[in-house]
Amino acid sequence: MLPKQTPDRLPSHPTQEIDRSVSVTFNFNGRTVHAYSGDTLASALYSSGVRIYTRSFKYHRPRGLLCSAGRCPNCMMTVNGIPNVRTCSVLVEEGMVVKQQNAWPSTEHDLFSILDRMDRFLPVGFYYKIFHRPKQLWNIVGPIVRRMAGLGYVQTRVVEENNYSHETRHVDVLVVGGGASGMSAALSASRRGKQVMLVDDQQLLGGRLRFDGNLYDGIPGVTSDVGYEIADNLSKLVTRNRNIEVMLGTTAFGLYEGNLIGLIQGRSKVKLRSGKVILATGIYEQPSIFDRNDLPGVMLSTAIQRLIHLKGIIPGRSAVVSTCDDQGYRSALDMLKAGIRIVAIIDSRERFPNELLAARELQENGVLVLMSHMLIRAEGTKHVVGAAASRLSDGHATTEEREFDCDLIAMSGGFQPADSLLRQAGCELSYNKSIDRMVASPMPDKLYAVGRVIGNDNLGKSIVHARSVGSGVAEVKSADNALSTPANFMHESQDLTEIKNCTAPSPIDLSQGAKQFVCFCEDVTARDIVRGIDEGFEDIETLKRYTTSTMGPCQGKMCHKHFANIRAKSLDNVDSAVYTTARPPVTPIPLGALAAQVHTPIKRTPLDRKHRELGAKMIELGPWYRPHTYTSSSNECLSVRNTVGIIDVSTLGKLEVVGQDAKTLLDKVYTGNFSTLKKGQIRYGILCSEDGTILDDGTVTRISEDRYFVTTTTGNIDVIEEWFKWWTVGTGLCAHITNVTSSYASINVAGPMARDTLRKLTKIDLSSDSFRYMWSRRGMVAGVQTLFLRIGFVGETGWELHFPAEYAEHMWESIMDAGKEYQITPFGVEAQRILRLEKKHLIVNQDTDAVSTPLSGDMAWAVKFDKDDFIGRSSLISARDSGYSEKLIGFNMKGSEVPEDGSPIVSENLPVGRVTSSRRSPITGQGFGLVWVPADMAEEGKVVHVRVGGENLPAELTFIPAYDPDGIKLRE
């Protein structure tokens, strides 16, 4: 049940980000909730009385607002069907549908919370120790565990339009973090003419100063002295500055090689290259460690300040504050001013911070302050009803306890730098004991940091430093990182003694209960961590993997410091407080925003319309659509063999290789000889990689002394173009490679009547005496300048015509008209495959694989060992000399079955070879094709067995092509 809305917000104040004149309603678990414009879902729910936001990952404990800044996992709900939304960082919109998750039947009453009472049986890593005996047990328990784990449900039906957007940008300087330091750095960089982008993950600029009412004296160049006014003034300067582009609600989620930054703003992703990057990401407040520190009503002290100042919400009536530094007092004073009774301030430090204005004011108001005390537990089951503190002695809680009633606990367990981007960039951090914080070592190139992220907690000094970094990066051409090297900076501009008493390590006493949570995402307690160490997982990386600390949705933002400190303490080595590897993204990012548009463009040949008119059945082959058949493959085959066929081969890869070294290049990349090719002559060639395996094949035609025309297989053109260019550059040759695949349309006309057909369209003498097989000509065909290649992939007299793609339809129609009297028939890929198979021509990647060589592929004739070095030569020589294990050979089935491509060749019931291409022969009506068999099995006439439908059927091996083995037809 939802309590009635409590409209008791604070009076209006300049820091508030809500607009009371605009009211917004949304649906929460089926009920209507009223909110103001500017509310986040979380603040609106809090204002309407919701305290339990979700249930925890492992124990299903009730969880309420913790950070209120989009960092922790405690307010995740399913919003508009999207699971795991951090409701504290989503502004309310009219009509939103919000549901709670990870609880049954409801978040308020979750039956799975029984797990919380079974915690004795569920210590860290419990699942590694049970459920594996008897063996089948895990099959039963596993699915149950899976159901318990996880957080939200994925909505399996995608209803909304994909409204993610992507952009690529470039700026001179990127500043991450819109607090005082970030803004100051941006301003000074922009004043030196740089294009600056300033991003912040909150909805307004100002960082922590937005909710800071403290006075700051004597900051040079700053007109006001109240925190939020300083923020406001700076933010006005920034917004007015035309050289600064501000992106709010934007997280820089990844800092990649070369200052490539990923930015996410709602559903838009920006991929940004920035000349320089200044990180002003600030710090994250950390929880205190005490029993039941996860109860709803226990919040970070800054979260309370955010609620009060930004949303005008009074988060409770009476509060206990647990702190180890000045922050607790500042928050306490804010609460006091908002009308909350401060029951007690529990400070683990020894000395009362007299110099702190807030502390004195609290004291004057009669607030109880207990120094040298620590909070040891929160009372309550579903919400805080009280707290207990104990006096500290030697860093441990004593039995001197005091109990308090309260409905709110503010905790400040120290700070952790928001250093994820720093660490992603390879910057190492080391522990600085005097400020109980990790600090960065010298920065990588073109990366700078200012403000609290590098330990500069003094606002005035931080602003001054940020200005100098801002102007520095704008002026310095080469990276002069000295200006933000924290080591220098720490010595010169920060007086450590000044803050010495401000921070003491947050005390942790493991004896004070089993519910001292360190990692809120994964429900890992302090005891779990110590237990992990006791079991031998001492290294931080193994400890992380065993306990799963830092591995949840917050990725360590709420736990890294305590996790590392507890480990260091257990090992009695504070200096060994190291952090685990930082990995992108800083904040979880929806897949849709990241997803590169998958561009798989479909390529159509210039004759595509013709094929469709003819009713061709089209198939996808790589990126291309090609005709599979027009009528039937057997008809089409017969036409080619008996009269004349026409096929669109425009998809062939086509390269022009031009230059004085063109011939040298081709000799280098092909296994055959091409420098000896005569002008006009064509030769088949094989390309190998260094290991002698077949990369591609095709024809090479010498057009003139320094000009060659090369065809590649359809799918390999891009690879081969790169390959040619690579070797051209690598060997310093003078050759120019132009990919002309789409410039030329290509048509193959083949069959006994091919000559008669083409003769009508050209003056070129096509007689065998004048235009021989494997020779080329250039001339006009049907009025179009055409390169004529006499080659014969399908085994008949035929010509391959290459001509400007614009004339494709004209050429096709002309040839069809000319061939009409011979019943010219268009044929598709399927017929072509059968026809070439009858000629035993292999198709690269169908009949060859990653280890096939020209030698094992029965094409030793195409390898010229007697020429100069070529790619793959030495590998092929060693293959030639030491033999190879498999060989490609033809086969003819003895019975009527046709094996499928991929069928095994069987010997003694084990597969020893494989069929790569198999079809029914139009000549014999029986199955035939190509097969890889062990080299010693590859004998003419040998009978092997092919596995077809569970049976082993006999087939006879042969090296001889099924059709026209001597190639007489080709040459006719």
Partner 1 sequence: MLQLFQKKRMWRKSPLKRHYDVIIVGAGVHGLATAYYLGKLGITNVAVLDKGYIGGGASARSTAILRANYLTSQGIPFFRESLKLYGDLAQELDYNMLFTRSGRFDLGHTESAVFGLRMRSQFNQMHGVDSRLIGPDEIKKLIPVLDIRQGKHLPVMAALYHPPGGVIRHDAVVWGYARGADRMGTEIHPFTEVIGIKKNDNKIIGVETTHGFISAGSVVSATAGWSSTVAALADVNLPIVTHPLQAFVTEPLKPYIDATISSANLHVYAYQTDRGEVVIGGGVNHYPSYSQRSTLDMLETLSGHVLELLPALRDVNVMRQWAGLCDMTPDYAPIMGKVDGLDDFFISCGWGTWGFKAAPIAGKCMAEMIFTGRVPELIQPFSLSRFREGKLVNERASAPAGAIH
Nearest of 228, 181, 701 to residue 467 by alpha carbon: 181
Distance of closest approach, residue 38 Cβ to partner 1, in angstroms: 24
Distance of closest approach, residue 736 Cβ to partner 1, in angstroms: 25
CA separation (Å) from 393 to 28, 371, 433, 511, 574? 48, 11, 20, 14, 19
**Residues pairing with 321 in the sheet:** 345, 410
Question: How many residues are present in the chain?
Answer: 972
Report whether 447 contacts 437 (CB < 8 A). Answer: no
What is the torsion angle, in degrees rounded to the nearest 10, for the CA atoms of residue 87, residue 92, residue 96 and residue 98?
Answer: 30
How many angstroms separate the CA atoms of 442 and 781, rounded?
71
Cβ proximity to partner 1, 457 vs 847, nearer residue: 847
Residue by residue, DSSP assigns 649-681 as -TTSEEEEEESTTHHHHHHHHBSS--TTPPTTB
Distance of closest approach, residue 144 Cβ to partner 1, in angstroms: 10
Structure tokens at 260: 């490539």
Cβ proximity to partner 1, 81 vs 275, nearer residue: 81
Distance of closest approach, residue 730 Cβ to partner 1, in angstroms: 16
Cβ proximity to partner 1, 36 vs 253, nearer residue: 253
How many angstroms separate the CA atoms of 211 and 91, rounded?
18
What is the torsion angle, in degrees rounded to the nearest 10, for the CA atoms of residue 573, residue 575, residue 576 and residue 581?
Answer: 160
Residue in the block written with tokens 């690269």: 844
Q: Which residues contact 964 (CB under 8 A, 6 or more apart)?
A: 795, 839, 970
Cβ proximity to partner 1, 724 vs 744, nearer residue: 724
Cβ proximity to partner 1, 495 vs 620, nearer residue: 620
Distance of closest approach, residue 98 Cβ to partner 1, in angstroms: 15
> Where does 458-559 have alpha helices with state H?
459-475, 486-493, 496-500, 526-534, 540-547
Distance of closest approach, residue 893 Cβ to partner 1, in angstroms: 17
Nearest of 74, 81, 86, 72 to residue 99 by alpha carbon: 81
Q: Which residues contact 725 (CB under 8 A, 6 or more apart)?
A: 737
Distance of closest approach, residue 105 Cβ to partner 1, in angstroms: 15
Cβ proximity to partner 1, 531 vs 836, nearer residue: 531
Distance of closest approach, residue 170 Cβ to partner 1, in angstroms: 15
User: How many CB atoms neighbour CB 534 within 10 A?
Assistant: 10
How many angstroms separate the CA atoms of 440 and 419, rounded?
8
How many angstroms separate the CA atoms of 604 and 330, rounded?
69
Distance of closest approach, residue 485 Cβ to partner 1, in angstroms: 22
Q: Torsions phi, psi of 202, nearest 5?
A: -90, 175
| 3-state helix/strand/coil string of 50-95 | CCCCEECCCCCCEECCCCCCCCCCCCEEEECCEEEEEHHHCECCCC
Report whether 26 contacts 41 (CB < 8 A). Answer: yes
> Which amino acid, 669?
V
How many angstroms separate the CA atoms of 254 and 274, rounded?
13
How many angstroms separate the CA atoms of 252 and 250, rounded?
7
Cβ proximity to partner 1, 133 vs 242, nearer residue: 133
Cβ proximity to partner 1, 260 vs 496, nearer residue: 260
Distance of closest approach, residue 816 Cβ to partner 1, in angstroms: 28
SS3 229: helix
Cβ proximity to partner 1, 428 vs 480, nearer residue: 428
Cβ proximity to partner 1, 239 vs 581, nearer residue: 581
Distance of closest approach, residue 709 Cβ to partner 1, in angstroms: 27
Kindly state the DSSP code that residue 567 receives in the 8-state scheme.
H
Report whether 61 contacts 291 (CB < 8 A). Answer: no
Distance of closest approach, residue 645 Cβ to partner 1, in angstroms: 22
Cβ proximity to partner 1, 622 vs 659, nearer residue: 622
Cβ proximity to partner 1, 84 vs 390, nearer residue: 84
Distance of closest approach, residue 876 Cβ to partner 1, in angstroms: 9
Cβ proximity to partner 1, 850 vs 968, nearer residue: 850
Cβ proximity to partner 1, 622 vs 965, nearer residue: 622
Distance of closest approach, residue 421 Cβ to partner 1, in angstroms: 13
Nearest of 211, 558, 276, 247 to residue 411 by alpha carbon: 558
What is the torsion angle, in degrees rounded to the nearest 10, for the CA atoms of residue 862, residue 863, residue 868 and residue 874?
Answer: 160
Cβ proximity to partner 1, 271 vs 396, nearer residue: 271
Distance of closest approach, residue 747 Cβ to partner 1, in angstroms: 24
Burial annotation 810-841 (CB, 10 A radius, 16+ → b, else e): ebbebbbebbeebebbbbbbbbbbbbbbbbbb
Cβ proximity to partner 1, 41 vs 774, nearer residue: 41
Report whether 726 contacts 668 (CB < 8 A). Answer: no
Distance of closest approach, residue 445 Cβ to partner 1, in angstroms: 14
Cβ proximity to partner 1, 153 vs 676, nearer residue: 153
Report whether 225 contacts 209 (CB < 8 A). Answer: no
Cβ proximity to partner 1, 579 vs 807, nearer residue: 579
Report whether 839 contacts 794 (CB < 8 A). Answer: yes
Nearest of 890, 884, 836 to residue 863 by alpha carbon: 884
How many angstroms separate the CA atoms of 190 and 280, rounded?
16
Distance of closest approach, residue 396 Cβ to partner 1, in angstroms: 21
Distance of closest approach, residue 270 Cβ to partner 1, in angstroms: 11
